[in-house]
Amino acid sequence: MNEPFVFLILLNWNGWRDTIECVESCRKLTYPAFRIVIVDNGSTDGSETILRERFPGIELIQTGSNLGFSGGNNAGIRHALEHGADYVWLLNNDTVVDAGALTALVGAAECDDRIGMIGSKIVYYDNPGLLWYAGALLDPACPHRPAHRGLRELDRGQYDDAVETGYVTGCSLLARRKMIDEIGLLDDSLFLYFEDADWSARARHAGWRLMYAPASVVRHKESVSAGGAASPTLVYYTARNRLFFVRRNFPAKIGKALLYDLYEHVLVNIKKGRLPAARAGFRGVRDFLLGRVGRMPTVRN
């Protein structure tokens, strides 16, 4: 029993059906030293009661309110560190995992003690032959346009080499304890979106390596919680948090990022007749300029 101990953190918010399917897949993991922790983010659909009854042997932390992706996962990370985790695995609850997914992540991470974060190959849940994430591209000259490598490409094995990556997506992210101790937790103020890219950039600036492990395979139900690409919620947080991310990590590029945000999230949505999304994009940019962080304010469209 010399294997590093991993805490697997599943964040649930009004999604107990997805969480049950994810947990059932995680129970088949071949890695011998891990513990599942479910963090319920103040669900209002009865998730806490249902999940406690379904999985009485699994720890469940109740945050008491919706703290967003970053705040909810931070609650789980703190718990993991307090209870001796060597690694923390953030895993979206709307995923299912291959049995060898965690073994592959830990095995790759243990090859170099300067690897701070490592991510899986992620494919679409309904079409596992189609890639969603095979590492990431982040050009310091255009940091406002990070992208998943291989997105919507057929998986022909073209991304089956373990390589360094621009950032690790929070959909499946194994983080080393020593790195967390050094750089801190996810940024609670971002609430949702770009918190993983920001965490990755902070790790890289501190000298940690970011890796992609293709032998670890995860299937993802894309955009189940956000409501799709034109969702005002997604547009608001993406527009706002992209700017906070760039200003913090690539400050010389903030002007370019601001112009891009106004074009992509406001003008494009207006042209397509998606006025609620355009208004959300404008509010995101405005709130960045005003220094507003945290949860998106509730407004009428």
pLDDT at 299: 60
**Domain boundaries of the chain, sorted by first residue:** 6-220, 232-289
pLDDT at 171: 98
Residue 228 predicted with pLDDT over 90: no
Residue 178 predicted with pLDDT over 80: yes
pLDDT digits (tens, 9 = 90+) for 144-157: 999 999 999 999 99
Give the CA angle between residues 268, 295, 139 to the nearest 5°: 50
Residue 225 predicted with pLDDT over 50: no
Give CATH for domain 6-220.
3.90.550.60
Beta bridge partners of 28: none
How far is residue 9's CA from residue 300's CA, in Å, rounded to a whole number?
A: 34
pLDDT digits (tens, 9 = 90+) for 242-299: 999 999 999 999 999 999 999 999 999 999 999 999 999 999 999 999 999 999 987 6
> How far is C-alpha 160 from the geometric centre of its chain's CA atoms?
21
pLDDT digits (tens, 9 = 90+) for 55-101: 999 999 999 999 999 999 999 999 999 999 999 999 999 999 999 99
Neighbouring CB atoms inside 10 A of 264's CB total 17
DSSP E strands, 155-258: 163-164, 172-176, 209-220
DSSP β-ladder status, 172-176 and 115-124: antiparallel
3-state SS of 63-76 is CCCCCHHHHHHHHH
